[in-house]
Amino acid sequence: MENNYIYIPDKSLQDEVEFRCRVPLENTDQVFVVDGEGAHRGLHLGKGEVMPRMLQIIQVRSRQVEEDLSYSTDYVLEEGAQAKVLLCSHTLSMLDFVTHEDVNIKLGERAVLDMVVMQNEHNKSRHSSAFKVEMAEGAVLNLNIITLHGGGISNTVEVALNGKGGECSLNGLYLADGTQRVSTNVNIFHNVPECHSSQLFKGILDGESKTTFSGRIYVAKDAQKTEAYQANNNLLASRTAKAYTQPHLEIYADDVKCSHGATVGSLNEDELFYMRSRGIEKGEAKLLQQQAFAYAVLEKVSNEALRERLHSMVESRLRGEFSECANCSKHCC
């Protein structure tokens, strides 16, 4: 597929970057941010401006910068603007990387942002992302975070619904095995009436991996007619994997519809028995069950081609085809 690169900071990295990243989709423009440097990092759309194509921002860590790295990115959509963004993270070497990024999102009245975040790094990398979102009246945000691989991944999301009619959908899927660690912290502030938010985060854990989820929905005193829903579900594929979850509601208004729930469980033995009785091999039966579990999150991705690509990558991950990534930085994405 022809790549539609807008910007690559260092032309000497072009061949290496093209080889490493195989995510580019049709009708998508690609921008590279190498070691936090990129002239087109972030996005600013004026009033009523609509991006005709998806923008893929490919963030990579190279062997050229070994020290801890921290940087900030701004996404500003003014009134009525619309954009679709794919933000993905990769590493180009097996160095013990530590990366922190602040992602600041500001949506004006009736602005719409559809963002997919794909995290895929090696076993030694540690990457923390802090998403801070401000939403005006009638603004819409769809944010999907897909964590495929990484030694230590931390995601913090804070959303402030500051205008009536705002809609926020947050979804996440995290896959962990070995000694990997994934943490997710979500805070949604319903500061005004008549806003809607929903959260669905799911995790599949194997080996001795550990994940934590902390979710908080805050509804202000005058934020009547609020609708807010939160769910965190975890599937343990081994006896040594551990998932900790803590959903939380803080409500000061009385005319609201809010709910939250969390589960931690293992593979369904009855379903496995049924599939095996129909001639399906045990490993394949487990895979099918895990895929079905993950599907509820992946179907939230609106771009069909990207959704199919993520399905394929999740299946490869669950089949153990990423096992070589323990000593490899490619990840075949």
Q: Phi and psi for 122 in degrees, rounded to 5?
A: -90, 180
Distance of CA 85 to the CA centre of its chain: 12
Question: What global pTM score does this model have?
Answer: 0.89
> Tokens for 254?
């009385």
* Residues 158-193 as b or e (16 or more Cβ within 10 Å = b): ebbbbbebbbbbbbbbbbbbbebbbbbbbbbbbbbb
Q: Quickly list H helices, the chain.
A: 14-20, 269-277, 282-298, 304-318
| pLDDT tens by residue, the chain, 333 residues | 344 544 444 544 544 444 345 555 778 888 888 888 765 568 999 999 999 999 998 888 888 888 899 989 999 999 999 999 999 988 877 888 899 999 999 999 999 999 999 998 888 899 999 999 999 999 999 999 999 989 999 999 999 999 999 999 999 999 999 999 999 999 999 999 999 999 999 999 999 999 999 999 999 999 999 999 999 999 998 899 999 999 999 999 999 999 999 999 877 666 665 566 776 776 777 888 888 899 999 999 999 989 998 998 898 888 875 454 454 444 444
DSSP summary character for residue 50: B
Sequence spans of domains, the chain = 5-327
